[in-house]
Structure 1
């Protein structure tokens, strides 16, 4: 049974997974919120909803808080190959995760202390236009969902610092940050991320 994370909560991924973890998947899912108006005949024919392009990113930081690398829709694999992005989903349509970031934890370079996962609305709408948004951590070895964090907080923000996965005493832990921000791409969130490193 996955743990449902609260803002600010910290967990041991290995304890929640019931053993050693080698590969995890960070899944991001969302839908466009229904507007309540049918949009008339043509709106009904063509769905009537505007498309929402949320983007998941994974930022790699060293122990001094320096950005070492970034995996996002413009760079789908980290320079060392330990982190891979599934590719850009521009609508949120379909069941399950809309974007996934695969992390091979033992292969993450030793100088990387923390991985920060962010979500940005590239199309620029605020989160009041987003429904059913979540991020989750899955054990890639068996498909078990370890932790889930609900992102569907209505508001005027266009981005969120979701979570940090970090090394502590030779194990990987997760901190649900859940801090809202503004920006179409992750780099606009960097000043806000620094205090969490």
Structure 2
């Protein structure tokens, strides 16, 4: 049975059999915003779907809190290059973490049961220099958009065994938008994988912020969460 995580909860990465969980996915699933507006000349109503672009990212730190590696969308590389930030990529240097790519819409018409953005993890391939892996989520607003986590119909993070297109066994899940502290917030530090006594563990941080872009969230983690 999957663990329903609460903010600040720490768990061991072990299957129900007691075996260490080393190959799994961290996935985020969310819905597009659907509203009803008056039709032409005020007659009737029409459904309006507003795309929701969330960005799942992660950074990897060593024991001293120094940035070792990162995964975030390369779609922002033109801006990142102009501002002298590390360019986005979808795979870690050691091949232990891989991102499924950017989803700019969210589920339309309800939850389809699959995650919109996924980071696949093989802990056996993660470099021994990496001590902590932080996962975070940011809302990207297109021109004319203005919303926060509280307006998204559903948003969930889960850890599961499987692939980007198939869920075998869900290990743990965390419902994001039911927490009232996320109102008015556009960024969320989801949690971290960390080494302790030779084993990997997970800490559900669940800390929201008003960061406007993922680079700010990266800097926040490096500064405050060493």
Does residue 87 (structure 1) correspond to residue 101 (structure 2)? The answer is yes
Q: Cα gap change, 1:17/1:77 in structure 2, threshold over 3 Å: closer, same or farther?
A: farther
> What residue in structure 2 maps to residue 115 of structure 1?
133
Q: 1:78 to 1:18 in 2, by over 3 A?
A: same
Aligned to 2:49: 49
Cα distance between partner residues in 2 of 1:86 and 1:17: 29
Equivalent residue, structure 2, for 1:40: 38
Aligned CA distance change for structure 1 residues 185 and 108 (closer, same or farther; 3 Å): farther
C-alpha spacing 1:174/1:16, structure 2 compared with 1 (3 Å): farther
Aligned residue pairs, count: 194
CA RMSD of aligned residues (A): 2.2
Tell me the distance in 1 between the aligned counterparts of 2:25 and 2:193. Answer: 12
Aligned equivalent of 2:80:
none
Name structure 1 gaps, 5 residues minimum: none
Q: Which residue of 2 aligns with 1:106?
A: 124
Deviation at 1:2, TM superposition (A): 0.6
Tell me by how many angstroms 1:77 deviates.
Answer: 0.8
Written as runs of structure 1 = structure 2, the 5 A alignment for 1:154-173 is: 154-173=182-201
Q: How many angstroms apart in 1 are the aligned matches of 2:16 and 2:34?
A: 35
Aligned-residue offset at 1:191: 4.2
Distance across 1 between alignment mates of 2:66 and 2:30: 30
TM-score normalised according to structure 1 size: 0.89
Greater CA radius of gyration, 1 or 2?
2
2:82 matched residue in structure 1? none
My pick for the range that moved more, 103-112 or 183-192, is 183-192
